[in-house]
Amino acid sequence: MNIYGASGHAKVIIDIARSKELSIDLIFDDNTDVNFLDDSVVVHEVSEMMKKSKTVIAIGNNTIRKNVAENFTGNIIDAISHSSAVLSSTSKIGKGTVVMPNACVNAATTIGEHCILNTGSTVDHDCALEDFVHISPNAAIAGNVIIGTGTHIGIGAVVIPGIIIGKWVTVGAGAVIINNIPDFAVVVGNPGKIIKYSK
């Protein structure tokens, strides 16, 4: 497999690959100042060989990851998960999504494409996460929650059951979400309060 991006997120994907005994063929980054990652050479040009094999987009920023995914003409890898992650056999996880160590996805949950379920995060039963969502470390998403495209749930945030969170929402670290959140809102605190809109 290939990795598109050579930052901290890529380092975690390397660990995921090792946990599953997957080989890494190429690591690409457009930053020509980055020449090595974890003792591997970083290339600065997307070759035809890279396009022919499966690639994971290792970019933490949801907007940038979406732009890259929409413009990348190669093959995207199926969802990958660390060997310590717990995935229900009834969950569905879209291509390009990365599930990091000790994350948990419970029954009848659907995760979109190019999502990040970060270290120790939990997504409970019957949830639906759209594409390009990022659930940060130790965030807890209770059952029957819907999260819109591009939303970022901050470290340690908690979302109670049955909540609907819109598209491109930012939920701050440690926030407790007890009400539905509209598109583009920025929410912080306990209980979560909207402090502004990003658009």
CATH number at residue 93: 2.160.10.10
* Residues 88 and 172 reside in one and the same domain: yes
Q: Is residue 8 part of a domain?
A: yes
CB 169 within 8 A of CB 176: no
User: Domain check: are 86 and 156 in the same one?
Assistant: yes
pLDDT per residue as tens digits for the range 57-75: 999 999 999 999 999 999 9
Mean local confidence (pLDDT), 40-53: 89
Q: Where are the alpha helices (DSSP H) in 20-175?
A: 48-52, 62-71
Residue at token pair 């990958």: 80
The residue type of 28 is F
Tell me, yes or no, whether 194 lies in a domain: no
Pair 71, 123 in one domain: no
Question: Which of the listed residues 76, 91, 124 is the one where a domain comes to its end?
Answer: 76
Give the catalytic positions in this structure: 125
pLDDT digits (tens, 9 = 90+) for 122-170: 999 999 999 999 999 999 999 999 999 999 999 999 999 999 999 999 9
Q: Are residues 16 and 65 in the same domain?
A: yes
The domain containing residue 54 runs over which residues? 2-76
Q: Choose the final residue of a domain: 76, 107, 130.
A: 76
Residue 43 is predicted with a pLDDT of 94
93 shares a domain with 181: yes
Res. 52: pLDDT tops 90: no
d(CA 165, CA 88): 23
How crowded is the C-beta side of 23, counted as CA atoms within 13 Å? 2
Q: Which of 13, 48, 76 finishes a domain?
A: 76
Q: What is the pTM of this model?
A: 0.95
Residues 6+ apart with CB under 8 A from 113: 69, 76, 94, 95, 96, 97, 131, 132
